[in-house]
Amino acid sequence: MNSPSTVVAVTTSPLAKESPDVVRLTDVRRNFGKTAALDGVSLSVRKGEILGIIGRSGAGKSTLIRCLNGLERPDSGSVEIEGRDITGLSEQQLQPLRRKIGMIFQHFNLLSAKTVEENVALPLKIEGLPKAARLKRAAELLDLVGLSDKAKAYPSSLSGGQKQRVGIARALAGRPALLLSDEATSALDPETTHAILALLKDINRKLDLTILLITHEMEVVRTIADRVAVIDGGRIIEEGAVWSVFSDPQNDTTKSLLNTIRPRLPEHIAQRLSQTPVGEAVLSVDLAGPEANTPLFADLSAHLPNSFRLIHGGIDHIQEQPVARFFIGVTDPARLDPVLQFLKGRSARVEVLGYDARSL
């Protein structure tokens, strides 16, 4: 098993090489008593990039986002927003900087006694803008999120998805450099989640807005993020382009988190597997990028006829990159090594998961 402190370097997106950092964390540590909530986190987010941070409950996600918006002070390390270290700023100094950071929340946090347009305009009222300017900006944002017809409505009359759209519009009111999303789709049904993610991606493209997503939902990261960072025990244990990490996770924690969306060996077969080399050898075969588009199994059949059977799997596309995972069975022990050699020669990542004696 990989050590929790091991960070696996994976190819980053071209965007990360071209744009300046909006966020940069360097060796950030935050302890609560003897518990290390953040244990030396170093991370950057480029302008216009969507970074997903995934991890289990208690991994450090919430503490990380609170350090980013200044609600939590690190014990050591630096947190820079657009090149300015915020860790030593006073509360008064933090106020104008917080306007550069928009927040959307899991439970919306709308004020029930205010109309939709008043909720959206609230940050601008606090900032001291005239009413006409506030309402003009609120109208622009409600049009952006598709809720122009709800300006005079109250939150109680809105669906969950509509409330989150209001929350997004409010977060954009001050023209932030960074949008923080804290489990923003966790309270929504799958169809509404898809619509909200599509909206965030559209806003990202139209406004060149940097977005940092904190989530435990792998599908959220898979759908819209450019890069992903996996946090566990307060440490970043793996990061890289989403398609690369999702197709070839290196850390055991990452593999476990991705089990919900990657093809898995059917449970009734998995339960029969033994490490005793008797019966059918069951292999996992992973490919990504151009290799996933080749006729791998047709070529294997031509090279080694009747050497395997396809058990389960398929091809997905993440960030327009093909990502494939299959499970195959090899019954003849004499064919196992040749099959392994052929697959590895075609850049496939292959693992013998075990043996199914029932196939005899």
Same domain for 349 and 230, yes or no, is no
Closest CA to 333 of 315, 313, 303, 359: 359
- d(C-alpha 344, C-alpha 359), whole Å: 25
Strand-pairing partners, residue 53, are 214, 229
What is the span of the domain harbouring residue 18?
8-100+176-258
Give me the phi and psi of 242, to 5 degrees please.
-55, -50
Residue 106 belongs to some domain of the structure: no
**Do residues 225 and 213 lie in contact, with contact meaning Cβ atoms separated by under 8 Å?**
yes
Is the Cα torsion angle 200, 205, 210, 216 positive or negative in sign?
A: positive
Same domain for 82 and 197, yes or no, is yes
> What is the helix (H) or strand (E) element at residue 349, kind and residue range?
strand 349-356
Residue 150 belongs to some domain of the structure: no
Give rounded-to-5 percent helix, strand, coil for the chain: 40, 30, 35
Residue 191 belongs to some domain of the structure: yes
Same domain for 70 and 215, yes or no, is yes
- Integer angstrom CA distances of residue 331 from 128, 276, 303: 74, 14, 17
What length is written for the chain?
360
Mark which of 258, 291, 326 sits at the end of a domain: 258
Same domain for 90 and 32, yes or no, is yes
Same domain for 225 and 296, yes or no, is no
> For the chain, how many structural domains are there in total?
2
Residue 90 belongs to some domain of the structure: yes
Residue 232 belongs to some domain of the structure: yes
Same domain for 300 and 202, yes or no, is no
- The pLDDT score that the predictor gives to residue 359 is 62
- The pLDDT score that the predictor gives to residue 14 is 43
Same domain for 96 and 187, yes or no, is yes
pTM: 0.85
CATH code of residue 14: 3.40.50.300
Strand-pairing partners, residue 352, are 283
- The pLDDT score that the predictor gives to residue 18 is 58
Residue 248 belongs to some domain of the structure: yes
Per-residue pLDDT of the chain (360 residues; tens, 9 = 90+): 343 333 333 333 444 445 689 999 999 999 999 999 999 999 999 999 999 999 998 899 989 999 998 889 999 999 999 999 999 888 888 888 888 899 998 888 899 999 999 999 999 998 899 999 999 999 999 999 999 999 999 999 999 999 999 999 999 999 999 999 998 898 889 999 999 999 999 999 999 999 999 998 888 999 999 999 999 999 999 999 999 999 999 999 999 999 888 899 999 999 999 999 999 999 999 999 888 889 999 999 999 999 999 999 999 999 889 999 999 999 999 999 999 999 999 999 999 999 998 865
Same domain for 252 and 271, yes or no, is no
Mark which of 213, 231, 258 sits at the end of a domain: 258
Mark which of 258, 288, 314 sits at the end of a domain: 258
Tokens representing 202?
């559209």
Same domain for 16 and 91, yes or no, is yes
- The pLDDT score that the predictor gives to residue 261 is 87
- d(C-alpha 212, C-alpha 206), whole Å: 16
- The pLDDT score that the predictor gives to residue 102 is 93
Interval 88-111: pLDDT, tens: 888 888 888 888 899 998 888 899
Residue 121 belongs to some domain of the structure: no
CATH code of residue 347: 3.30.70.260
**Do residues 350 and 344 lie in contact, with contact meaning Cβ atoms separated by under 8 Å?**
yes
Same domain for 183 and 326, yes or no, is no
Residue 315 belongs to some domain of the structure: yes
Same domain for 351 and 245, yes or no, is no
Same domain for 353 and 299, yes or no, is yes
